Amino acid sequence: SQKIEQNSEALNIQEGKTATLTCNYTNYSPAYLQWYRQDPGRGPVFLLLIRENEKEKRKERLKVTFDTTLKQSLFHITASQPADSATYLCALDILTGGGNKLTFGTGTQLKVEL
Amino acid sequence: NAGVTQTPKFRILKIGQSMTLQCAQDMNHNYMYWYRQDPGMGLKLIYYSVGAGITDKGEVPNGYNVSRSTTEDFPLRLELAAPSQTSVYFCASRYDREYFEQYFGPGTRLTVT
């Protein structure tokens, strides 16, 4: 069956450290992979998109890698801050006949402590 | 731009009642989506639309209906509400069929008792 797995346990790290979140998938061949941030009581907000032929993408303190052989994406936040505390969702952009649809993982809750 | 707007923010329904969740976007996006999010679970796609007059089922369509008469609006109808439909509902839109990000609304928290 098709599955997207993110760390189910919350990730607690100290301010200033690098947070690394994992997204693994099986039985999908996504054209793109996206990462979203979701704060409590709010809708997800787009962060980064990476294509299947890109190994790495960066935006300010954020970095995403995409390994289609391992079927894995890693999401890094460097110099983390308490304001980075949120749930982070990965989403696979699947090509279908009726238009692409995003399939979301369950998310990883990140808590950055002082 | 207001982006994606949803109404109401909260609603409590009795079993068997019906209601419509409203969603509108002012970004001239063709693609619109309805998701539900249960605690600890990911977003599940209910219905989506690739343009006015065109809708299709997602992963969990049972108990819901949609229509898309304009580019801007994509209402979700719940008929005969059941406790299993207690969830947070998010509407989203997208500029094109691939590569572009999705913009989400603030959500509607629905409780069916």
pLDDT digits (tens, 9 = 90+) for B42-99: 899 999 999 999 999 999 999 999 999 999 999 999 999 999 999 999 999 998 766 6
What's the CA gap between B59 and A10, in Å, rounded? 27
Q: Which chain B residues are closer than 8 Å to A4 by Cβ?
A: 42
Chain length of chain B: 113
Q: What is the dihedral of CA A59, A61, A66, A67, to 10 degrees?
A: 140
Please list every residue in chain A whose beta carbon sits closer than 8 Å to the beta carbon of residue B89.
none
Tell me which of A99-103, B13-17, B63-67, B99-103 is least confident: A99-103
Q: How far is A17 from chain B (nearest CA, A)?
A: 26
**The pLDDT of residue B39:** 85
Residues in B closer than 8 angstroms to A107, CB to CB, are 42
Residue B23 makes CB contacts below 8 A (sequence gap 6+) with B4, B5, B6, B32, B34, B73, B74, B75, B76, B91, B105
**C-beta neighbour count of B2 within 10 angstroms:** 9
The DSSP element (H or E) to which B80 belongs, if any, is none
Q: Indicate the SS3 state at residue B40.
A: coil
